[in-house]
Structures are given as structure tokens and as C-alpha cells.
Structure 1
Amino acid sequence: MGGSSGIGEATATAFAADGAEVVITGRGRDKLDAAVARIGGKTTGYALDATSQTDIDAFFAQAGTIDHLVVSVSGSAGSGPFADLDLDQLAAGFDGKFWPQVRILKAALPHLDSQGSVTLVTAGSSRSAFPGTAGLAAINGALDAMVPPLAVELAPLRINAVSPGVVDTPWWDRVPEAQRTALFDGLVATTPVGRVGRPADIARAIHMLATNGFITGVVLDANGGTSLATGR
């Protein structure tokens, strides 16, 4: 779910390259159609609002058996210094990411192949200590915390998550350019891999979790080592 840009699109591209039948979702028909054209292969687009239970139910009502579900729905609400954090905005952050991912997974269950997989896309804020991200940490941490118990409860269906670090995607377009550049330059100077992430980096991690039948209950950090203490 998702797939019209950034990590979701890169993931769809990886699966399409394998010859899989891929369905991507998003709100805007034009944006979906453009992404389908870029991805190629046996890819189709379905327009829906991931915050709408009605749209989610309608999508799965017409779906056949799903081998692998990737949920890359995201949002930006809920960030900022904690002392100034608007709690309504934090609630909006949960409404924009946590609840859509939960609703999608729950609605998908009857349609998932029992030997298949679910991969949630969360974020490294859940296990980092960057000032101004406590709200985002709560949202993504709540999703991460669900993975191990769901992997046991829903077995043999496999449940995993990928927790990306800073990845250069359109998500960052909402951040002022000077602030974004300073953050990226700082990460280049201090992280072990010496660069920010690319959507394809995360797509490869998601593809591996989905296709490796011996991995479940894992929250995989794909962050270039930003969570490590280094001397750089």
C-alpha cells in the first residue's frame, strides 16, 4: 500500500523486475498513472485514501490472494520540540500513519496467503534520540512494537518491518532547503556509510524480508549506521 513515489515506488520497481504482479495505491490518479508507467512490468494502480476505512475495505473487497503486502503509508504530523508539540497534531500523526497501517493489515488478513508476508515501513525515529522527534518516535515505535507479537499470533504468515533512517525522498520536500541540506551534510560527515539513504536501499531490504521465508518478527534497521556511536 503506497508506491507512487519514494520508498514505495522503489519497492514496487524491485518486485516488478522479478515479474510479480504489483499493485500500488495512492490518492491521486495522475500521480499513480505516472508511477505505473515508470515502474513498468505487470503493475497497476488503485486510487484510495489510506486514512479512509471505506476505501481500504473497497480495495480488499476486489483483491484476490495477496502473496506479499508492503505498507509504506507515511505522514509528517507529530514532529517538533516536545514542549511546543500540539497534541492534536500528534494525534493527527497517529491518524496519518499508525492507524492506516493497522487498518490495512487487519483488512488484508483474509486475503493474505498463509505462507506470505507483511512488511511495514516505519522509521528510525522510533529508536533514535534526535531532538524534535519524540512524537514521531511514539508513532513509529508503536508500529515496531506490534511486529514480534503479530509474527507469533499470525504465523505461518510472516510479519516484519523495515525502519529506514534518513532517505532522500519527496517526503523531505516539505522541509526548508537550507535545513534539509544541513541535515544531509551532517549525516554524510558522521555516519559510517558516509551518505544519506536512497529509496532503492530500503527497497532491497523490504524485498529481502518479503522473499526470505526464514525471517519473521524482525524490525530491520536500514539507516547507514546512524544509530551507531562513531568517531567520525
Structure 2
Amino acid sequence: MGGSSGIGEATAAFCAADGAEVIITGRGQDRLDAAVARLADRGGKVSGHRLDASDRAALDAFFAGSGTVDHLIVALSGGKGAGPFAALELADLAAGFDGKFWPQVQVLQAALPALRRDGSVTLVTAASARAAIPGTAGLAAINGALEAMIPPLAVELAPLRINAVAPGIVDTPWWDDKPAEQRQAMFEDIAAATPVGRVGHPEDIARALHMLAANGFVTGVVLEASGGASLTTKR
């Protein structure tokens, strides 16, 4: 879910290279078709399905016709909820939940009848859930709410495995609304304060998602993939 660009597309490529039959979904048909074409050029069996994760009826219909799903990766991202708390518009925070929290929960509920009993679900949250960065309280709330569900769901839905990957700052189209110079300056500042010395690439997160889906002995885990951004870098 959310496989037409960025982290989702990179994850689809890893899964297809591993021999999986992959279906990617996205809301825009043109972007979806372009992603399927790029993935096909890399080899593997990949198809696309236009789907809005906020449409429960469409989700139910999709999974009813999908056959058994071995692994579900939900790479849906929101857009709102950031900003200084004192000026944070609560409508924007609600829109942030509508754009990420509720769609991911809804996808998981709709998928349950189709999921292989001992398969897996891996959500994409964000390291902001555990960071203490001014201006990210709203994002922390959205992603923290998803992460709080992982352990109880792993027990309740066992032997289905439930995990999440929490990316740090990753250079994806999510940042395209910022001017190029501003985006690059931000990436350089973050890289300088991160132990690995760079921001993430979609493939970094895709490797983590693929690992959690493939490893049948891991469940109830939120794996942070942030280049060590939560660690102190003072020397």
C-alpha cells in the first residue's frame, strides 16, 4: 500500500527481486502506471491497482478479490500535523490523523480476512514518535498512536506477525513541496548531526521493511531506521 513512489516503490523492488508476486497500490493512476513500468524494467512480477486507502468499501472489495496475501506492507504517509504547538491548528492535526493513522488502521482491518494466518503486516511510522524535536508534537502523536498498537496487535492477531519500521529523515518525494535549496540545506544540517553522516534513502527503509516481512521469528517490533538520529552526537 502506497507503492507508487519513494519507500513503497523501493520496497516493492526488493520484494520482487526476492521472488514475490507484488501488487502495489496508489491513488493516482499515472504515478501507479509509471511505478509499475520502472519496477518491470528491474525484473520481477509486479502489478498495480488504483486504490484510495481512505475508502473502506474499495479496500474491502480489493482484498475480497486479492486471494491470500502473504505479506502486507503499509507505506502510506500523511502530510499535516507539524508545526509549533502553540500555533498548531487542530484541524491540521486531525487532517494528519486522517491522512496516516486512520488509513493504516483501516487497511489492516480490511486486510485481515485475506491475510495468510502466519503471514505478516508491516507499517511505516516515523522516528518522530520518539524524538523530542520542537514542532513535531503533532507528528509524534500520529505516529506514536500507530506504534502503540504494534505490541498488543502482535499478541491479539498471532500467529500473524505485526511490526513497524520508523524512518528518520529520508530523501523522498514527500519533501518535494519545499524549494530545492531549502530542502538541501535541511538535509545537510540533519546529516551533520547524525552518526551515519547522511539522510536516508528509500532503499535503506525498504531493506528494513523487507527484513521484517521475511523474518518469521520477529513480531511486535518497531524498528527505528534513522541513521542513529536519536543518539547523542556530542563528542
CA deviations on 1:48-68 (whole Å, 9 max, x unpaired) are 111111221221121110000
Verify: 1:20 aligned to 2:20, yes or no: yes
> Matched residues, percent identical?
71
Structure 1 stretches (4+) deviating beyond 2 angstroms?
A: 175-179
Give distance in 1, aligned partners of 2:181 and 2:29.
32
Structure 1 residue 147: deviation in Å?
Answer: 0.2
TM-score with structure 1 length normalisation? 0.98
Which residue does the alignment assign to 1:44?
A: 47
Distance 2:144 2:8 in 1: 20
* Corresponding position of 1:198: 201
Q: For this pair of structures, how many residues does the alignment match?
A: 232
Residue 174 of structure 2 corresponds to 171
Return 5+ residue gaps in structure 1 as ranges.
none
What runs of 5+ residues in structure 2 fail to find an aligned partner? none
Cα distance in 2 for partners of 1:229, 1:175 equals 28
Q: Which amino acid aligns with 1:37?
A: A
Query: Deviation of residue 37 (structure 1)?
Result: 1.0
CA-to-partner distance for each residue in 1:83-119, whole Å, 9 max, x for gaps? 1111011101000000000000001011111111000
Q: What is the TM-score of this pair, normalised by structure 2?
A: 0.96
Cα offset, 1:131, TM superposition: 1.2
Report the RMSD for the aligned CA atoms in angstroms. Answer: 1.0
Residue 149 in structure 1 maps to residue 152 in structure 2: yes
Q: Which moves more between the two structures, 127-136 or 50-59?
A: 50-59
Structure 2 distance, partners of 1:170, 1:55, is: 26
Find the partner of 1:87 among 84, 90, 94. 90
Alignment partners' CA distance in 1, 2:179 and 2:132 = 22
| Amino acid aligned to 1:127 | R
What whole-Å deviation, never above 9, does each CA across 1:156-208 have from its counterpart, x for those lacking one? 00000000000000001112334322221112211110000000000000010
Aligned to 1:103: 106
> What's 2:58 paired with?
55
